Structure 1
Amino acid sequence: MRSEDGEIADMMCCVSCGTADVNNIKLKEYNLLDGSAACQKDHTSQQERDCESRATEIHDDILFRQPESSHLGECPICLLPLSLDTKHAMMQSCCSKLICIGCYCASIRYEVVKVIKRRSCPFCRQPEPESAAEIEHYKMKRRKANDPVAIQGAGKRCYHDGDYERAFEYFSKAIAIEAGDAEAEAHYCLSFMYRDGKGIGRDAQKRLYHLEEAAIGGHTKARHDLGVHEVYQGRIERAARHFIISANLGHDASLKALRELRAAGGVSCDDFATAFRAHQAAVNATKSRQRAEAFAIGAIQIVGKSRRRREANGK
Structure 2
Amino acid sequence: MDDNKLVPEEAESPAAICCASCGIAEVDDITLKKCDACDLVRYCGDKCQREHLSQHDPSCKKRAAELREEILFKQPESSHLGDCPICFLPHPVNKPRAVKSCCSQTICVGCDYANVLTNCEQMMCPFCRHPKPKNKEEVKCNTTKRVAASDPVALNYIGQRHYREGDYGTAFKFWTKTAALKLGNADAHYNLSILYRGGKGVEKDERKKLYHLEEAAIGGHAKARHYLAYYEWTNGRFDRAVKHLIIAARLGCGDSIKRLRTSYVDGLVSKEEFAMALRAHHAAVDAAKSPQRDAAATAVAAGKIKRM
**Which bin holds the TM-score, normalised by the shorter protein?**
0.7 to 0.9
TM-score, normalised relative to structure 1: 0.78
Matched with 2:82 is: 73
**Is residue 99 from structure 1 mapped to residue 107 from structure 2 by the alignment?**
yes
Q: Is the 8 Å Cα contact of residues 101 and 300 (structure 1) preserved in structure 2?
A: no
Query: Using a 3 Å threshold, how does the CA distance of structure 1 residues 53 and 127 change in structure 2: closer, same or farther?
Result: same
1:36 alignment partner in structure 2: none
Q: Cα 1:191–1:32, aligned 2, differ >3 Å: closer, same or farther? A: closer
TM-score relative to the length of structure 2: 0.80
Once the two structures are superposed, residues 85-109 of structure 1 have per-residue CA deviations (whole angstroms, 9 ceiling, x without a partner) of 232x211111111111111111112
Distance 1:302 1:129, change over 3 A: farther
> Residue 219 of structure 1: CA displacement?
0.2
Q: Which amino acid is 1:132 matched to? A: K
Paired residues of 1:90 and 1:303 also in contact (CA < 8 A)? no
Pairwise mapping of residues 164-175 of structure 1 onto structure 2 (< 5 A)? 164-175=168-179
What is the RMSD computed on CA atoms of the aligned residues?
2.6
Structure 1 residues 297 and 65: CA distance shift in structure 2, 3 A: same
Q: Which has the larger radius of gyration?
A: 1
Q: Which amino acid aligns with 2:132?
A: E
Q: Structure 1 pair 175/303, CA: closer, same or farther in 2 (3 Å)?
A: farther
1:198-277 mapped onto 2 (5 Å cutoff)? 198-277=200-279
Overall identity of the aligned pairs, in %: 45
1:5-44: per-residue Cα shift (whole Å, max 9, x none)?
x999x8678xxxxxxxxxxxxxxxx9789xxxxxxxxxx6
Letter in 1 for 2:182: E
CA distance in 2, matches of 1:300, 1:82: 22
Q: Distance in 1 between matches of 2:206 and 2:148?
A: 33
Q: 1:31 to 1:69 in 2, by over 3 A?
A: closer
Deviations 1:197-256 (A, max 9, x none): 011000000000000000000000100011011111111000000000000000011111
Contact preservation (8 Å) 1:83, 1:283: yes
Unaligned runs of 5+ in 2: 1-15, 24-39, 44-53
Aligned to 1:312: none
Which whole-Å CA distance do the structure 2 matches of 1:68 and 1:108 have between them?
A: 31
Structure with the higher helix share, 1 or 2:
1
Cα 1:234–1:140 shift into 2, 3 Å: same
Whole-Å separation in 1 of the counterparts to 2:221 and 2:303: 26
Find out whether 1:50 has 2:46 as its counterpart.
no
Q: Could you tell me whether the CA contact under 8 Å between 1:101 and 1:299 is conserved in 2?
A: no
1:90 partner SS? strand
1:110 aligns with 2:129: no
> 1:133 Cα deviation (Å)?
1.4
Structure 2 match to 1:40 = none
The 8 Å contact of residues 148 and 179 in structure 1, kept in 2 or not, is answered as no
